[in-house]
Each structure stands twice: as structure tokens, then as C-alpha cells.
Amino acid sequence: MIRSAGWILWKDITLELRGRELLLPAGVFGLVIAMLYGFAFDPSKSGLHGMFPGLLWLGIFFASFLAVGRAFSIEADSAQQLLLAPIDRGALFVAKLALNVLLTLVLAAVMTPAFTVLLQTALPAEVGTFLVIEALGLVGFAAAGTAMGALAAQTRLRELLLPVLLLPFTSPLLLGVVSATSALYGPTPAAASSWIGLIAIFDVIFIVVPALLFEFLTEV
């Protein structure tokens, strides 16, 4: 299974490097969101400091919709129809999950500095904890997006259906990452640890449950 997953991941990365159909549109959309936030809000106001975690995570999640949603469209639009190939569906899930994690991490690496510059808000003093929160949040979002992307890819309206399916499932995760990031900007940064544990639980659920049900999701 590992070998098959590695082959699929390498194929997707190669296609992305050639066509730039996943990361480039999502990255541009994310930067546009950051610019709109910069124009819409006055960075000199102190209240914006407390809004920064919510604005940042909403921007990352919305931009990630484009990248995650297209991950399975590669197979649905291709003539090979990888979903019909005689390979372990678990390998397909692992490969798509790894691809979505890479895409969301790259998006976050681009958008986070852009948000700090345009909104004139520095990262919290506990940068290491912030990076842990960001990594855990993106892994959970990528896992949920992989499952919902597999389900939506079987429909004609997959671009419209994916946000409808994904937003309710990732709302608890979004609440967790925003609350954890906000705690780092507050007077008691240690309060973020409880939220980090909750985010980790979300990640386990979003990875284990779709992995067990993935074959069913691809057959719907």
C-alpha cells in the first residue's frame, strides 16, 4: 500500500508542478483575501489585534477549499479513472491526504506572513506553539477535505457541493484553532494547551473515520 500511495502522490505532485492547477489559484485567492482584509480593516485600531486569529484562519480555510476540492477532480477528469484501477483504496486515501497536507502547509506558509504584514499584526511570542497549532489545524482540515472531496468528486456539482459538506464538519476544528491562537495573544497563553489537545482529537477522528469508510465514500 505504501508503494502505491507513494506512486500516486508522486504522480499528483508532478502534475501540479507542470500545470499548477491546485496551488496557484488557491494561493492567489488567499493573497486576495489578505489584501481585502488589509483594505477593509484599519490596522492602527487596537481591536484588530484580537480579530487577527479569526481572520487568519478563515482566510486559510477558504483558500484551502480550492486546493483540497481539486485533489480528487484530477482523477474524475482524467481518462485513466484511477478510482477504477485495481489498487488498495487505502493507498489512494493516504496519497490524497498527503497531497492535501502539503498543499495546505504551503498555503499557510505563504498566507501567514502576508496577513501579518497587511494587518500589521506580529506573530505571538510563542511562535513554536503557534506553528504546532497551525500544523495540527491544517492536518485536520486536509483529512476532512480528503474524505469530503472523495464524496463530492462523484457528483457533477462537486465544486459547489464540497463547501456545503466540508464547512459543517470542520466548524469544530475552526473553533478550536481560532480559540487556541487567540489564547496565545491573551494574558494566559498556557490556556492554548487545552485547545491543542482538542484539535489533536479532531485530527484523529478526521483521519481514522474517513480511512475506515473511504472505500464506501468512493463508491457513492
Tens digit of each residue's pLDDT, the chain (220 residues): 667 677 677 877 777 677 666 677 888 888 888 888 878 776 666 556 778 888 899 999 888 887 776 666 665 554 345 555 556 666 778 888 888 899 899 999 999 998 888 888 888 888 999 999 999 999 999 988 888 877 776 666 666 777 777 888 889 999 999 999 999 988 888 889 999 999 999 999 988 888 887 767 666 5
* Grid cell listed for 206: 478526521
Helix or strand holding residue 138 (H, E): helix 127-152
Retrieve residue 104's grid coordinates.
Answer: 495546505
Q: At what angle do helices 89-118 and 192-219 cross, to 10 degrees?
A: 140
pLDDT of residue 79: 38
Domain ranges of the chain: 2-219
Euclidean distance between CA atoms 33 and 139, whole angstroms: 22
